[in-house]
Structure 1
Amino acid sequence: MSKSGDITKKGKIAAKSLAHRLTGFSLPFFGVQWTPPADEREIIRGLLTALEDRRVLFVPYHLEVVSQVTASVLQMRELLTQTLQALPETARAAGSVRAMRAACRKFLEEPHPDFRNLPPLYGRGRFGDEEGSPPFFVALGELRATFGTHVAALAYQYGIDIEGELASILPSADDAS
């Protein structure tokens, strides 16, 4: 079983353990003592708690339904906008929240990768509307990776443990070495 599978079985990943997973991700707070304001921390805790319930971020790909994924990404984008509105203008979290919101927009608005040389699935000429296609799943993987990096950064920065299956999208400890 992979380490990410172990994390979700434990049910929680401690915020302090995330620092070594964020290699190569520029965070302005390393090496500087900073205590997040309580109200700002609560806003971010609320966001992360809401994301723990967004199945689109972690459910196995074969269980995804295109229309449900699209609806969920739209809801996440709205949640991220509400979070930005609630945060103070100078909040350190704003960059990560904006990056996740931009990832939602990219998933919803930009064309997914084009795999012209990919043979038709199971001999059919096209994918069903609700099944998804390889480009759809590549775009979903990119969305999950972006969210994983920013969720890890926010959890570490604000000292918030990540519960349940959301931990499965965090950068792997193996990737950081």
Structure 2
Amino acid sequence: MGIKITGIDTPFGGVSWEYTETSKNGIQELFYYLETKRILINPVEMEIKSWCVQSTIEMKREIASVLSKHKFISDTICWLRAMINACNLFLDSLSSVENSGIIYKNSSGDWEDATFSRAMKQFRKVFKENSSLLSQAYEIPFPNDIPD
């Protein structure tokens, strides 16, 4: 956390300031948030479509919020936008998944619904790649493995 001087008063003297967040802090906070999202890190044998939709919308909002609060370098902006785009594509793909209940994995470890399977794999792939790039750039580990 940094401090930004916002004013100096005279003749008696005084300084006013506000705390600022660094871009590294923003990425760390985002990682803390993403660690809690089971859609990313939980290799469970079943998912519920409506929960996936809700979680993805929440993630998209959080990433957009982090983007608006911090001044990031262009690479970081690109990586975060790729995550937002992955959320949009995942949500678009889920609109064509007819199963509104539980979607299970089959005996080969793939999701029973082919559209859901492709969408989930692509979604997680984008987050895995971009969280790795952010982790390297900001020297912050992303402690959870994002399964395929």
Q: Output the TM-score relative to the length of structure 1.
A: 0.60
Structure 1 letter corresponding to 2:28: R
Q: Please point out which of 127, 131, 137 is paired with 2:102.
A: 131
Amino acid across the alignment from 1:60:
P
**Match status 1:140 vs 2:140:** no
Larger radius of gyration: 2
| 1:87 has 2:70 as partner | yes
- SS state at 1:64 partner: strand
TM-score scaled by structure 2?
0.71
On the 8 A contact 1:66/1:129 being kept in 2, the answer is yes
Counterpart in the other structure of 1:76? 59
RMSD: 2.4
2:121, 2:135 → 1: CA distance?
21
Alignment of 1:89-108 (within 5 A): 90-108=73-91
Post-superposition CA distance 1:34-62 (Å, at most 9, x none): xxxx7010001110111011100122252
Higher relative contact order (CA 8 A, sep 6+): 1
Structure 1: where are the runs of 5+ without partners?
1-37, 115-126, 171-177
Higher strand content, 1 or 2: 2
SS at match of 2:64: helix
- Aligned-residue sequence identity (percent) comes to 22
Shift of 1:128: 3.8
Is 2:65 the counterpart of 1:65? Answer: no
Q: In the alignment, does 2:109 pair up with 1:109?
A: no
Task: Please list every run of 5 or more consecutive structure 2 residues that lacks an aligned counterpart in the other structure.
Answer: 1-20, 104-112
